[in-house]
Amino acid sequence: MNRSMLAFATGALALAAAAPAVAERVPAPSPDASLEETRRFFTEDPDAPMIAPVGYDVTIVEYLDYQCPACRASHEPLKQLLSKDKKVRVIFRDWPVFGAASSKAALIAVASKYQGKYLAVHDALLTTPKPLTDAKIQAAVKKAGADWARIQKDIAAHSEEIEDLLARNDEQAQMLGLDGTPGFIIGSTQSFGGMTLAQFEESVRKARTEVAPKPKGSGKR
Amino acid sequence: MPPRSLALFLLALVAGVRASAAADPARYMTAELLVESPAPKPGSTVLVGFRMTPRPGWHGYWSNPGDSGIAPSVVWEALDGVRFGPLMHPAPTLLTADGISSFVHAGPHVLLSRMTIPRSLAKGTPIPLKAKLSWAACTATQCVPLHATFAVDLVAGSGVEGPDALALKAAARKLPRSAAPGTFSADGKSLRLLVPASLRLDVRRTRFFPDDSESFAAGSQRATKAAGGIQISGSSASVPHASISGVVSDGRNAYRLAFRQETPAEAQKQPTSAPAAHAAPRHPSGKRDAVAVAPKVEEARPSVLAGQREWPWVVAPAALIVVAAGLLLMRRRRSQRPST
């Protein structure tokens, strides 16, 4: 628990230290797009919060809702994976599907990225007791060491960017045929449902053996 | 959940079945609107509700879902003056997975509400009724948001019962019964609830389901026999509340009650017991079938947890290519987010 928490916090630092995104978003692929082009549509998004270690060779994209029990159950195994495997990039796509409280939590989480606190807030929201109320969301933000007033300012200042990101996440989840959460893309394979540490490790191992070329991460994202 | 075939995946995208994020309840948990009377009598209150039928391995949530999960919610639409009570649930069962305690309905169940027809309505007046229900179906590894809109045309009448009346009345009998308040004592965040002995619950299977997990933590609790009833030890997430309400159930009988903090005099009169002092609890009612009737809680759990180690369905890598086939179609139709 503590080790993976530490790894997660380290990831947060890496994210905070990352240079402003220079990469362009990848447009929706055409019907005859290659597997690699299609994959990049889901993974290359400068606005999506992520943990991107230097030299990563596998990317996990997670579609999640802060109120979904299975998302909560997968949170710890994913953190353990990241503490054991330093070459995995994770992209978090907030996809609030369980009502108003979930939408609020996703908005707060995404807005916290502007102060470099996404991962801490994400972690706090996934571990806070349910049901998520405004008071509990605010308490989670405080626990994560993020500035609530700054989040409110960033929501106002970046409303279009945040809305677009959440709409994009929603659109992608539907393209993937996801009925619910959590959903994952690991390498070029998609799945619906939470995973244990062993299942994450197996999926990552398979992704590394895929024939499709994977871009080497620079750690600058 | 069985793997989805690639063909189905492609078909769904091309045919545009997925016009919105709404999943098909038939695959997870169906809901059906039930009304006690197609011709409710003006001035009367009748039962309405939803028959919820989860697929094996899937569960729905109680009014307080516990540490995780999402309670069902409904928006009723009817003539002005027609009033609806809150959704009423049968007692839940406990589902614990990965340290997360949820209060669930693991099998088919009925959610009830009471609809009151205004006295002023003339007989023969049409009462179009609409209900928008949102609920969640989950396994240990997957959670699906579900939505459905129901419409039925009622007419103010004599109150004659319809075909759903029997099921609704049976569900009403299964609702936790109201019971006189119990007391609780607090020591910091430690709480001890005293369930009155008059409720005759089986101490071995008694569990408290709080309306609010802040007042009484959803996780570990312990029921032991005590002077005056059954003592349930647990903890609160924050400072003790003045009153704690919820449902106590032994899987067979369930009661809705509130606990108020005991006065110092009561505390002296009913010293809380050490569990060891009452190590051999006997069912207070003395009914011989008390042991034989296993509560649904225990039966339901293995099936719910059975899917936990299952590998989630995985679509072959080629699926991502397939996705592209539906892209142009999907992009034209920016989806609406489901609402609660």
DSSP for A72-136, written as a single string: HHHHHHHHHHHHH-TTEEEEEEE---S-HHHHHHHHHHHHGGGGT-HHHHHHHHHHSPSSP-HHH
Q: What pLDDT is recorded for position A215? A: 53
Looking at every residue in chain A, the average pLDDT score rounds to: 85
Could A179 and B27 be called an inter-chain contact, meaning their C-beta atoms sit closer than 8 Å?
yes
Closest chain B C-alpha to A95 CA, distance in angstroms: 10
Residue A204 or B276, more confident: A204
Contacts of B138 in chain A (CB under 8 A): 68-70
Q: What pLDDT is recorded for position B288? A: 33
Q: What pLDDT is recorded for position B280? A: 35
Residue A70 or A215, more confident: A70
Q: What pLDDT is recorded for position B101? A: 85
Mutation to test the B interface, candidates A32, A41, A59, A72, most B Cβ within 10 Å: A72
SS3 A32: coil
* Number of separate helices (H) and strands (E) present in chain B: 6, 19
Question: At residue A114, does pLDDT exceed 50?
Answer: yes
Nearest to A188 among B311, B320, B324 (CB): B320
Cα dihedral angle (B224, B226, B230, B235), rounded to 10 degrees?
-60
Token output for A128: 């806070």
Mutation to test the A interface, candidates B20, B70, B311, most A Cβ within 10 Å: B70
The dihedral of CA A106, A109, A113, A119: what is its sign? Answer: negative
Query: Residue A191 is which amino acid?
Result: S
What are the angstrom distances between the C-alpha of A209 and each of A42, A66, A205? 20, 32, 7
Contacts of A28 in chain B (CB under 8 A): 327-328, 331
Closest chain A C-alpha to B326 CA, distance in angstroms: 7
ipTM surpasses cut 0.90 = no
Sheet holding B109-116: strands in order across? B29-35, B45-54, B109-116, B83-84
Q: What pLDDT is recorded for position B291? A: 30
Mutation to test the A interface, candidates B10, B29, B142, most A Cβ within 10 Å: B142
Could A174 and B218 be called an inter-chain contact, meaning their C-beta atoms sit closer than 8 Å?
no
Angle between helical axes of A148-157 and A100-111 (0-180°, round to 10): 90
Q: Residue A54's beta-bridge partner residues? A: none
CB contacts < 8 A (A, B): 175
Nearest to A193 among B141, B145, B217 (CB): B141
Question: At residue A38, does pLDDT exceed 70?
Answer: yes
Report pTM: 0.77
Nearest to B317 among A129, A174, A188 (CB): A188
User: Average pLDDT, stretch A36-47?
Assistant: 86
Question: At residue A36, does pLDDT exceed 50?
Answer: yes
Query: Residue A124 is which amino acid?
Result: A
User: pLDDT of chain B along its 340 residues, tens only?
Assistant: 333 333 223 323 333 334 455 789 999 999 999 999 999 999 999 999 999 999 999 999 999 988 777 899 999 999 999 999 999 999 999 998 777 788 999 999 999 999 999 999 999 999 999 999 999 999 989 999 999 999 999 999 999 999 999 999 999 999 999 999 999 988 888 899 999 999 989 999 999 999 988 788 877 899 999 988 999 998 887 766 788 999 999 999 999 999 998 876 766 665 444 443 333 333 333 333 333 323 333 333 333 333 333 344 444 444 554 454 444 444 444 443 443 3
Closest chain B C-alpha to A180 CA, distance in angstroms: 4
Closest chain A C-alpha to B105 CA, distance in angstroms: 15
Token output for B269: 């009169």
